[in-house]
Amino acid sequence: MIIKNFLPFLFSILFLVACSTDEQSNGKKTMFDVESSKTKEHTRIPRSKIFAIIPDTYKFDKKDNLYRKGGQQYFTMIEGVGMQKKRIEADKLEQVMKNMLIGHAGDITFYEKIKVNSYTGAYFEGGFQENGAASIGVWFGDDTFWAAFVGVYPADDEQEKIDLLNILATLYYDEKFTIDPNEFSDFTFDSSISGFKFNTVSGERLVYTPTGKETSLYEVEAYLSFSSGPIYSELAGEIALRNVLLNMSTLGITFQSKDYKKVKLGERTALLLESEIQEKEHKQFLYSILIIGSERSVLMYAVCNLDQLESPNDLKKYREIFHKTAQSIKF
């Protein structure tokens, strides 16, 4: 049995920064820091820059995006983007991270600040009591990324916990590794509509910008990003979207409107949110559409930086580009 989580990939669109957090263990530090280096035994987690030594008993489940050993024994890695040159209060980040972790790890019962190599982060334990499952994990990162490892195991099997801790102890983030966009071959779209070029893979999402060479997403007129993941129903999609909006608000992002609507793209249902948003001094227009399939869903997250537009009429142009691009998505 897999504990289903409804925001495995939606959450990674958020622009987070891994700030220091207060220790929550109510006492002396009890968990070790992770100090590892990449070896020939390390395996890269698909669609990420994260490596770990993974026993042969764990097999990658592409559908659910996790490594599984048995019904209640598995682990998953989630990677997201940071917020370069932007700072948010540590307590806000901590609350958002805990909200996300609850979906993956259940009720958090232990939480303590640690380091993963040079990165700030935290170790946590939790579980899904009603399913007899326990969980352990870490999250870590800096201004450019964040990542989380969550392992779930039968609560009465201490050896399985030790096995997951041994994997956790080998985690290594290779910031210089370049991800091949062809890893995201489970969906396609027509890039000629916007003319945008592939820029980077960041936080398990493909990012497209006007030239493909820009280094700041705040200094372009507009950009597109795409990700996919195991959301199988309208209800799951709505729950995920509401959680994302809540977390963005917690981070201080304000919305002109949080009202999303159901639309049809061919035979598929999609959840569409269009709104002006304010992120500190940046005023943006957001076009976010989640297209729901029977086995997975695709999210297109498109942004127009309103202060970068040469003319107010350009917003109409980009909205049309966003809409036509969404219609071209196939999976």
pLDDT tens-digit series, residues 223-247: 999 998 888 899 989 988 888 888 7
SS3 244: helix
pLDDT mean over 96-124: 83
Distance in angstroms (rounded) separating the CA atoms of residues 134 and 62: 23
Dig out the tokens for 303 from the structure.
Answer: 């942004």
Contact predicate 302/322, CB 8 Å:
yes
Whose CA is closest to 75, among 152, 166, 11, 165? Answer: 152
CA distances from 142 to 50, 77, 145, 147 (A): 14, 17, 6, 10
Q: Which domains does the chain have, with CATH numbers?
A: 11-173 (3.40.1000.10), 181-328 (3.40.1000.10)
CB atoms within 10 A of CB 26: 8
Question: pLDDT tens, 251-305?
Answer: 788 999 999 999 999 999 999 999 999 988 899 999 999 999 988 899 999 999 9
The pLDDT value given to residue 89: 56
Q: How confident is the model at residue 16 (pLDDT cuts 50, 70, 90)?
A: very low
User: Is 99's pLDDT higher than 70?
Assistant: no
User: Is 95's pLDDT higher than 60?
Assistant: yes
Dig out the tokens for 237 from the structure.
Answer: 């999609």
SS3 70: strand
Question: pLDDT tens, 179-223?
Answer: 898 888 889 999 999 999 999 887 678 999 999 999 888 899 999
Contact predicate 240/270, CB 8 Å:
no
The helix or strand, by DSSP H or E, that contains position 225, with its residue range, turns out to be strand 222-229
User: Is 12's pLDDT higher than 60?
Assistant: no
110: Cα separation from own chain's centroid? 23
As a whole-number percent, the residues of the chain with pLDDT over 90 amount to: 56
115: Cα separation from own chain's centroid? 20
In sequence order, the 6+-apart residues with CB closer than 8 A to the CB of 171 are 34, 36, 50, 51, 52, 116, 138, 149
Query: Looking at 2-6, 68-72, 106-110, 218-222, which range is the least confident one?
Result: 2-6
